[in-house]
Amino acid sequence: MKLFFDFLPIVLFFIAYKFGGGIYHWNGQEYDVQGIYVATAVIIVASIIQVAFSWIRHRSVEKSHLITLVLVLVLGGATLWLQNPDFIKWKPTAVNWLFAMAFFAAHAFTDKSLLERMMAEHIQLPTAIWFRLNIAWIVFFIGSGIANLYVAFNFDEATWVNFKLFGLLGMTILFVVGQSIYLARHAVEVPKPTKDN
């Protein structure tokens, strides 16, 4: 369910791209609106709603959602303002590379990786395993960013939109499944504290 919530703006982007373009009439004028601009407007609104919903429901917002929102506002805004879809095509790469830098910086300049900080309450792992997992995430984020750029600027726009949803989501799911299998071999579940009766 969380994965669906995380990817919901991208799903809406995909739907808006497929069905939102066309000829629109307004104030007696006819406008040929390309799907990429409708989709960009939709992902901006969806990202704002996603962050607002998280804040209203939990009184907190995940940093990944905030980072994505800022990049969507900047790059999506530039796409709409300058009528240039290249800006929004850079968004997945910018998000992935920022995450890669964050994972690298946390490991290089603090005593724990980001992954260990997020998961240490639930599982125990040797330091070497945390290090390998952290490196794997860094490589995954860098690779995802490169893959996005390759598809965005070597294939047509419709192919990139399909890849943005199905390709990147599929890569993420496969990577998480692989990580889960690897974790299962090394993880020790942290026991929950019990109350004395």
pLDDT at 188: 59
**Model confidence pLDDT, tens digit, residues 30-64:** 666 688 999 999 999 999 999 999 999 888 888 88
Domain residue ranges of the chain, discontinuous segments joined by +: 2-189
pLDDT at 122: 66
pLDDT at 194: 56
How many other CB atoms are found less than 10 A from the CB of residue 56? 8
Q: Provide the whole-model pTM.
A: 0.80
Q: Which residues pair with 26 in a beta bridge?
A: 29
Residue with the two structure tokens 């390759």: 150
Q: To the nearest 10°, the Cα dihedral for 177, 180, 181, 186?
A: 170
Closest alpha carbon to 132 in 79, 169, 175, 179: 179
Residue 112 in tokens: 């724990």
Burial class from Cβ neighbours inside 10 Å (0-12, 13-18, 19+) for residue 36 reads buried
**Model confidence pLDDT, tens digit, residues 112-157:** 777 777 766 667 777 778 888 889 999 999 999 999 999 999 999 9
Higher-confidence position of 22 and 161: 161
Instruction: Place 192 in a pLDDT band, splitting at 50, 70 and 90.
Output: low
